[in-house]
Every structure is written in structure tokens, then in C-alpha cells.
Amino acid sequence: DIRMTQSPASLSASLGETVNIECLASEDIYSDLAWYQQKPGKSPQLLIYNANSLQNGVPSRFSGSGSGTQYSLKINSLQSEDVATYFCQQYNNYPTFGGGTKLELK
């Protein structure tokens, strides 16, 4: 199976700050990568697919990039409603998820 390693596991940032979350695949996944946001007590919501395509309705402050084995999620101008845990997921082989990054406000 393809292992997905996310970093950091947690981070604290201030309102208006830019945040980056990284995801490293154990092998080339050819941009078959999605990002999900899970707010406390809620189910995950799709943010990004194909590494950099924004899902309909997702604010443009969210963006994805990367290729090969290295991918990142960027949140510009952090808002209070962005407090959540973020997961990456590869779908080049049977789906596997990263361990998650818990984002809190400083």
C-alpha cells in the first residue's frame, strides 16, 4: 500500500496568517491527491482534488500544489472557521489517508 505522511501533526497560527501543510507519499502518486477538512464533530469535506483543483464552493484562500511524492495545502489569510483537522488522501492505488494535521488558532 502507499503510505501518506503528513506534517506537521499539529500547528497553531494567527488569524490572517498563511499556513502550509505537507503530505509525502511513499511512492509517486502522479497528482492523484485530495485534501479534506474535518471540523470538530463533523464529517470530512473535500477541499482539493487532483492535487490542485478546488472543489466547488471552497473558498479561494485554499490551494493545493505538488507532484511526484510531495504535496502541500496552503491556506491564505487564515480565518477562524478554518480551525479543523486536515487530511490528505491518495487515489493512485487503493485509497489511503495521511494521519492528519490539527490546525488551531494562536
Q: What distance in Å separates the CA atoms of residue 44 and residue 66, rounded to the nearest whole number?
A: 22
Q: What distance in Å separates the CA atoms of residue 56 and residue 66, rounded to the nearest whole number?
A: 20
Of positions 21, 25, 34, 75, contacts another protein by CB under 8 A:
34
Q: What distance in Å separates the CA atoms of residue 89 and residue 34, rounded to the nearest whole number?
A: 5
Binding of another protein by 87 (CB under 8 A): yes
Q: What distance in Å separates the CA atoms of residue 35 and residue 10, rounded to the nearest whole number?
A: 16
CB of 18 to another protein, least distance (A): 25
Binding of another protein by 1 (CB under 8 A): yes
Binding of another protein by 32 (CB under 8 A): yes
Binding site for another protein (CB under 8 A): 1, 32, 34, 36, 43-46, 49, 55, 87, 89, 91, 94-100
